[in-house]
Structure 1
Amino acid sequence: MTQSPALLRRLLRAKDRMDQAPHEAWPVRRLAAVSATSEAYFARQFRLAFGLPPHRYLLSRRIERAVALCRDTDLPVTEIAYQTGWSSLGTFGRVFRDITGQCPGDLRGTAPAQASPGSTPECILRAARRPDLTTSVSEKRQCEGAGTTEPQPTEVP
């Protein structure tokens, strides 16, 4: 099933709003209002268009920004958590570690990946470093607990 260009524009509008202010709260109700759709329809169509549910997309953007702040600034981890939209430092640290495999403080010691001028566009480098959230954080935790690396395939209707 293909989506109409008008619907895709409205979905992109919501995605752009999340990209502009990932630190803000973006419940599905707010995103649906931006897209002029119902909540359930928005959630289904967003996942169909971008391959991730809206919450996971937002989570990936927040963690991507947090990784950059950890590597490129001397801000305290608490400040990074608040700047990237987390109200709980504990939740931030746990989710950050679950997604990246490292604690925010441990990431400070790594050097940022820099390309030589003109070799690779910055947008490509950022996309390559973007966290993989094709599975939920809870699914990743279950796999680690079971000693496997891949979640069991689930059928999407």
Structure 2
Amino acid sequence: MNLEDLRQLRRARDVMDRDYAEPLDVPALARVALMSPGHFSRSFRAAYGETPYSYLMTRRVERAKALLRRGDLSVTDVCFEVGCTSLGSFSTRFTELVGESPSAYRARSHGPGEPIPACVAKFLLRPVRNGEAKAPGRP
């Protein structure tokens, strides 16, 4: 993969990071990366080790976790707030990445993690699929 392709993929990834709540799909992201949808999907997976959809859903679940910790929104409201259109799909993906349902996550106490700086919390609390290898130094 050449550097120009990586630069274009990073542009698309930045759009997912910034606009995760918008209705993003592979053709739209491929346009940002100036690639065909098929080439974009294959290149993204090769560069980042996951599909564009998986990356986007991980961003959405990260944001959903923060909203659920606040406790002032329902799971349904959080689902739509982070850009998901199906509560069932959101709950399934959330459970897959976090290891518990959004309702269970919302219901439990989150007090001890509050003083952790956001940059550390983002690394430590990033959702990963059950069974995936964990990063070094990660619980």
The count of residues paired between Structure 1 and Structure 2 equals 130
Deviation beyond 6 Å, 4+ runs, structure 1 = none
Structure 1 match to 2:135: none
Which of 61, 67, 81 does residue 59 from structure 2 map onto? 61
* Aligned residue type for 1:60: T
| Equivalence for 1:132 | 128
Q: Distance in 1 between matches of 2:90 and 2:5?
A: 33
Aligned partner (choices 94, 97, 100) of residue 99 of structure 1? 97
Q: Scaled by the length of structure 1, what TM-score is found? A: 0.74
SS in 2 for 1:96: helix
Computed over aligned residues only, the root mean square deviation of the Cα atoms, in angstroms, reads 1.9
Letter of the 1:36 counterpart: L
Partner amino acid, structure 1, of 2:91: G
CA distance in 1 between counterparts of 2:95 and 2:58 reads 13
Instruction: Give the CA deviation at 1:82.
Output: 0.3
5+ residue gaps, structure 1: 134-139, 141-148, 151-157
User: Quick check: which has more Rg, 1 or 2?
Assistant: 1
Stretches of structure 2 that go unaligned for 5 or more consecutive residues are: 133-139
**What is the CA distance between 1:77 and its match in structure 2?**
1.3
